Structure 1
Amino acid sequence: MPIAITPPAVEPKQARPAFQRANTANMGTKRKIICFSDFDGTIFMQDTGHALFDNFGCGPEKRKVLAHQLESGERSFREVSDELYASLDVPFEDCFEVMKTALDIDPDFQDFHEFCVNNSIPFNVISAGLKPVLRKVLDHFIGEEMSKHIEIVANDAKVTESDDGNKWEAVWRHECELGHDKARSINEYKATARMESENGTVPMIIFIGDGVSDLPAAREADVLFARRGLKLEDYCVEHGIDYIPFDTFADIQKEVIKIAKVDQQRTLGKGLPSNFNPRANMWRRVSSRAAIPVFAALSPAKEEKAFLWPETFTKPATVPNHLDTGLAVAAPVA
């Protein structure tokens, strides 16, 4: 049976400077948008898995060994994760006391989420983590009433409690090395949305992330936001991938408002975002019968030079996972 573990000491958080709260009211546009966001390192600054494994499982040293095996390609993300979850021996409800002090939420996420709710913008978490854990964390940090508006697309979990201890198992969403193919999940949403639409349209897809393992999902999006200073931004800069950097979700809200007004401008090209992904945008019809597709405004020469994702998204089998936050996830990009 596990011994009682005292949550690690955490230095008191410094109060944020006074600021004017973001306007979360309805912005009055008809642009159809949906947001997909990574969880660890994006909505929260730390990794929920690390908090679990370091305090209730194999510990930080063993986790680093497993991360190295993952990074070297010796083992897959799914294999390493199975071992990490197998090391946990704690009742499901008991592990969250540590997370209350170990995790920090983006300071402007709650305002952005309220903005999404008020503007009927679906917000989805898409993660390689465990759905019950992520839901519990969101319930605590933003409250159950607001948390219920967020759809979590992640792996499930099976926790069995007995006299011999507590057994944790990941119930993987997909049969692949990652356990969850984020790109596949987004494409499943696209297919469903297209069938449910009266004219075959789907919303503009926005993806928000921080690490290289987010690339498979990012390439399926129309607009990519990358947390400033982290590995997803580094990769985008290195490979010439267009993106919008952000420090907090307040930056994302400002850009989403700009993007949402594009379709309401009569002259295409005036204020046209340069951060669209034509590869993702080309397959879908525009969200208004009267609108002109963004890519239609570009000449062939310009289109070729526009925001086209490089071959590195689809050719390599893996991306160096040490570039990501979390479990140093090795991310197939095919």
Structure 2
Amino acid sequence: MNDTAQESKRRKIVCFSDFDGTIFMQDTGHILFDNHGCGTKRRQILDEQIKSGERSFRDVSEEMWSSLDVPFEDGFEVMEKNLEIDVDFRTFHKFCRENEIPFNVISAGLKPVLRRVLDTFLGEEASSHIDIVANDAEITADGSEWKPIWRHDDSDLGHDKALSIQEARKAAHLTAENGTIPLIVFIGDGVSDLAAAREADVLFARRGLRLEEYCQENGIDYIPFDTFADIQRRLEEIQEEDRQKTGGRGVPVRFNPRANLWRRVSSKAAVPRYVVMSPTKEEKMFLWPEVFSVPVVGSEQQMVAPLQV
């Protein structure tokens, strides 16, 4: 490869995104619970029980999902009426496909629900290019039972990404394809996204919501966005900046060593294997970091669960 070709090489980008409140402005689960389940008032009480530590996230979530008594199709109808997709997401997703940027959804929701939503709002062909990491579910034909299939059945949260992250980080190393190291991007809206967001080179936080506030309060680098058009524009600028300064080779100009974990696994598959194995304890450890996080002396601060007594 000659120097000109090297200089014009564009670095590979891999995108990971939250779903509720990020791609869609509303929460899919809340719409279902409020309209066909426990109702808004009870849901808010249950949310407070998680925050106070009175009950586990998994316990509360199971009550919310088990409160549903509606066939899947009927439940989807109310979601379709109430959900609002980011006005520029379709264009952004087209941009990702045209530029061979893998786009992955990571969610604490139910995969059948999220897939149906994407199929409807994007079309099945476009939706098929998005990998979804979420809980599975068993839903009876008459809708009398909605049962989440947790990725970690022995966890009181149903999700426990922490252990897998720690194990993967120990073995993580830079992987390069033809001399390039991928740029890892994460897009989110809430503090619950921090477990994944801290592992990215570039973090986009929806403007005015809790993730942005948390980043400001804790000095975390991020880029605010109002719609996915802002993300597309900034990614194009970042691509050009990187091309000019690195020729697409070596480490990215915007480089976060913590993102090596994502680089390692995303070079082998669109969705990180550790995420598939175990989503996250974000619901406690990052929504309420002042309660559930402790500094580890002599090393980078980590988010760890409190001791069980």
Q: Verify: 1:83 aligned to 2:63, yes or no.
A: yes
Could you tell me which amino acid in structure 1 is paired with residue 149 of structure 2?
V
Deviation of 1:320 (Å): 3.8
Match of 1:154 in 2: 134
Q: Verify: 1:129 aligned to 2:96, yes or no.
A: no
Q: Give the Cα–Cα distance (whole angstroms) in 2 for the partners of residues 49 and 64 of structure 1.
A: 13
1:134-192 Cα distance to aligned partner (Å, 9 max, x none): 00011111111111110001111111236xx6211101123544433467788999999
Q: Give the Cα–Cα distance (whole angstroms) in 1 for the partners of residues 31 and 118 of structure 2.
A: 15
Aligned ranges for residues 57-96 of structure 1 at < 5 Å? 57-96=37-76
Task: Say if 2:11 and 2:181, in contact at 8 Å, map to a contact too.
Answer: no
Q: Verify: 1:212 aligned to 2:179, yes or no.
A: no
1:241-260 Cα distance to aligned partner (Å, 9 max, x none): 11000000001001111222
Match of 1:318 among 277, 285, 291: 285
Aligned ranges for residues 1-334 of structure 1 at < 5 Å? 30-161=10-141, 166-174=144-152, 175-181=154-160, 203-266=182-245, 276-280=255-259, 318-320=285-287, 333-334=303-304
Q: What is the TM-score of this pair, normalised by structure 2? A: 0.75
Aligned CA-pair RMSD: 3.7
Range that drifts further, 169-178 or 215-224: 169-178
Structure 1 residues 273 and 230, CA gap change in structure 2 (3 angstroms): farther
Task: Say if 2:169 and 2:261, in contact at 8 Å, map to a contact too.
Answer: no
1:297-332 Cα distance to aligned partner (Å, 9 max, x none): xxxxxxxxxxxxxxxxx9xx723459xxxxxxx999
Task: Say if 1:207 and 1:223, in contact at 8 Å, map to a contact too.
Answer: yes
Task: Say if 1:123 and 1:150, in contact at 8 Å, map to a contact too.
Answer: yes
Q: Give the Cα–Cα distance (whole angstroms) in 2 for the partners of residues 107 and 34 of structure 1.
A: 22
Q: Give the Cα–Cα distance (whole angstroms) in 2 for the partners of residues 139 and 258 of structure 1.
A: 30
Q: Give the Cα–Cα distance (whole angstroms) in 2 for the partners of residues 67 and 244 of structure 1.
A: 29
1:266-311 Cα distance to aligned partner (Å, 9 max, x none): 469xxx99864344359969xxxxxxxxxxxxxxxxxxxxxxxxxx
Task: Say if 2:184 and 2:262, in contact at 8 Å, map to a contact too.
Answer: no
Task: Say if 1:194 and 1:201, in contact at 8 Å, map to a contact too.
Answer: no
Task: Say if 2:37 and 2:69, in contact at 8 Å, map to a contact too.
Answer: yes
Structure 1 residues 123 and 183, CA gap change in structure 2 (3 angstroms): farther
Task: Say if 2:33 and 2:39, in contact at 8 Å, map to a contact too.
Answer: yes
SS of the residue 1:30 aligns to: coil
Structure 1 residues 201 and 265, CA gap change in structure 2 (3 angstroms): closer
Q: Give the Cα–Cα distance (whole angstroms) in 2 for the partners of residues 190 and 58 of structure 1.
A: 40
Q: Give the Cα–Cα distance (whole angstroms) in 1 for the partners of residues 176 and 164 of structure 2.
A: 18
Q: Give the Cα–Cα distance (whole angstroms) in 1 for the partners of residues 140 and 27 of structure 2.
A: 23
Could you tell me which amino acid in structure 2 is paired with residue 318 of structure 1?
M
SS of the residue 2:106 aligns to: strand
Structure 1 residues 245 and 78, CA gap change in structure 2 (3 angstroms): same
Q: Give the Cα–Cα distance (whole angstroms) in 2 for the partners of residues 160 and 134 of structure 1.
A: 17
Task: Say if 1:244 and 1:275, in contact at 8 Å, map to a contact too.
Answer: no
Could you tell me which amino acid in structure 2 is paired with residue 254 of structure 1?
R
Could you tell me which amino acid in structure 1 is paired with residue 285 of structure 2?
T
SS of the residue 1:46 aligns to: coil
Task: Say if 2:242 and 2:253, in contact at 8 Å, map to a contact too.
Answer: no
Q: Which runs of 5+ in 2 are unaligned?
A: 1-7, 265-280, 294-301, 305-309
Q: What is the TM-score of this pair, normalised by structure 1? A: 0.70
Task: Say if 1:128 and 1:154, in contact at 8 Å, map to a contact too.
Answer: yes
Task: Say if 2:107 and 2:133, in contact at 8 Å, map to a contact too.
Answer: yes
Could you tell me which amino acid in structure 2 is paired with residue 140 of structure 1?
T
Q: Which runs of 5+ in 1 are unaligned?
A: 1-27, 286-313, 323-329
Structure 1 residues 198 and 242, CA gap change in structure 2 (3 angstroms): closer
Range that drifts further, 47-56 or 187-196: 187-196
